[in-house]
Amino acid sequence: MASEGRNLVGVDIGSSSIKVCEVKEGRKGVRSLVRFGYHPLPPETIVDGHIINSNAVVEGLEKLFHKVKRRNVAMRASGHSVIIKKITMPLMTHAELSEQITWEAEQHIPFDLAEVHIDYQVLHERGDQGQMDVLLVAAKREEISDLTNLAVEARLKPMVVDLDAFTVQNVYEQGYGIPDGQTIVLIHVGASLTTVNILADGTTAFTRDIANGGNAITEEIQRQLSIGREEAEAYKCGGDGRGIVPREVPEIIGQVVEQLAGEVQRSLDFFLATSGEGGLSNIYVSGGTAQLRGLLSAIQERSRVPVEALDPLRVAPPDPKTVDPASLTGRASQAVVAMGLALRKERERNG
């Protein structure tokens, strides 16, 4: 992908909050984070990937972009409205592929093709076998237009819509490089959805969405302690100024974290059993729930692979003149998708 122009402003509308990142590229490609914004959304604003309370989202965007001139944005579509499939096709030219892809999509996508945007990328060409691996992506038009309409309502100009898995991959590649011959797992744990993206030799080999995330922990604390959502969320985050955390809380968090780690491990086991890959090299976790140390250690214990939190500030450290480092304390993991979006450019062309 060749890119030109200035970086877009990354806007990540999640089910519990909106995150905004703006990155500036200086000379010699050195980047800095010149703006970071965070706005919590009320419960039930977004349910199962559908925006229920659009007013809350528009108000949040307006607050985050108050007195801001740069309004060209990159946004992300979530896994509920998106299907990603890796398919094998006979070796062909790009012109032949663009003609053939619709027919292939009909075989693999369980939506009416009139209702979706289709995109694709060639991953590997295996000349000796006369085959190539193609990544096929379908996103529901209705969900994409709902998302971009909200941005327009908030007087923003959406230029690019990307996918969770690919924005996290962008941050990993720019911040950590692409290691040769290694299989890397990127796990993004959002409030309601966990995305697993496995990269073999730098390209996507497997993706899966798990309908579980940080909200499950909050809901379980609420249920077991018979308390309100805000209080449960505060206890999950270590008290949040509400005094002593009840002793049951770490145990409840542990139960839900074990369940999530188990679901992640089933995805990893499935990949290893079906791909013929020898093993996994490293696992990187992002999203708000990555701050729970228990989650990283539970995944590491099951997978026996080194696990660490993905650090988006390796891509673009904060500019102390415009970003208060304290505003990122405890939020860096939540900024990963917005950071990945902020790496997109105003003019991009496939190359």
Confidence of residue 239 (pLDDT cuts 50, 70, 90): low
Rounded to whole angstroms, how far apart are CA atoms 313 and 13? 20
- Global confidence as pTM: 0.90
Confidence of residue 2 (pLDDT cuts 50, 70, 90): very low
Mean pLDDT score of the chain: 89
Confidence of residue 1 (pLDDT cuts 50, 70, 90): very low
Radius of gyration of the chain (CA): 20
Predicted local distance difference test score (pLDDT) of residue 242:
57
Calculate the alpha carbon distances from 8 to 261, 332, 339 in Å. Answer: 34, 19, 10
Task: With a cut of 50, say whether residue 95 has pLDDT above it.
Answer: yes
Which residues contact residue 251 at a Cβ distance below 8 angstroms, ignoring those fewer than 6 apart?
Answer: none
Task: With a cut of 80, say whether residue 111 has pLDDT above it.
Answer: yes
Q: Which two tokens stand for residue 1?
A: 């992908």
Predicted local distance difference test score (pLDDT) of residue 154:
96
Predicted local distance difference test score (pLDDT) of residue 293:
74
pLDDT-above-90 percentage for the chain? 58
pLDDT in tens, 170-180: 999 999 998 78
Q: How far is CA 274 from the centre of its chain?
A: 24
Rounded to whole angstroms, how far apart are CA atoms 16 and 46? 8
In the 8-state DSSP scheme, what is residue 8? P
Rounded to whole angstroms, how far apart are CA atoms 202 and 177? 9
Rounded to whole angstroms, how far apart are CA atoms 212 and 280? 23
Instruction: Give the Cα-Cα-Cα angle 166, 170, 176 (nearest 5 degrees).
Output: 135
Burial classification of residue 320, based on how many CB atoms lie within 10 Å of its CB (0-12 exposed, 13-18 middle, 19 or more buried): exposed
Task: With a cut of 90, say whether residue 349 has pLDDT above it.
Answer: no
Task: With a cut of 80, say whether residue 347 has pLDDT above it.
Answer: no
Domains of the chain and CATH, by start: 2-349 (3.30.420.40)
Predicted local distance difference test score (pLDDT) of residue 350:
41
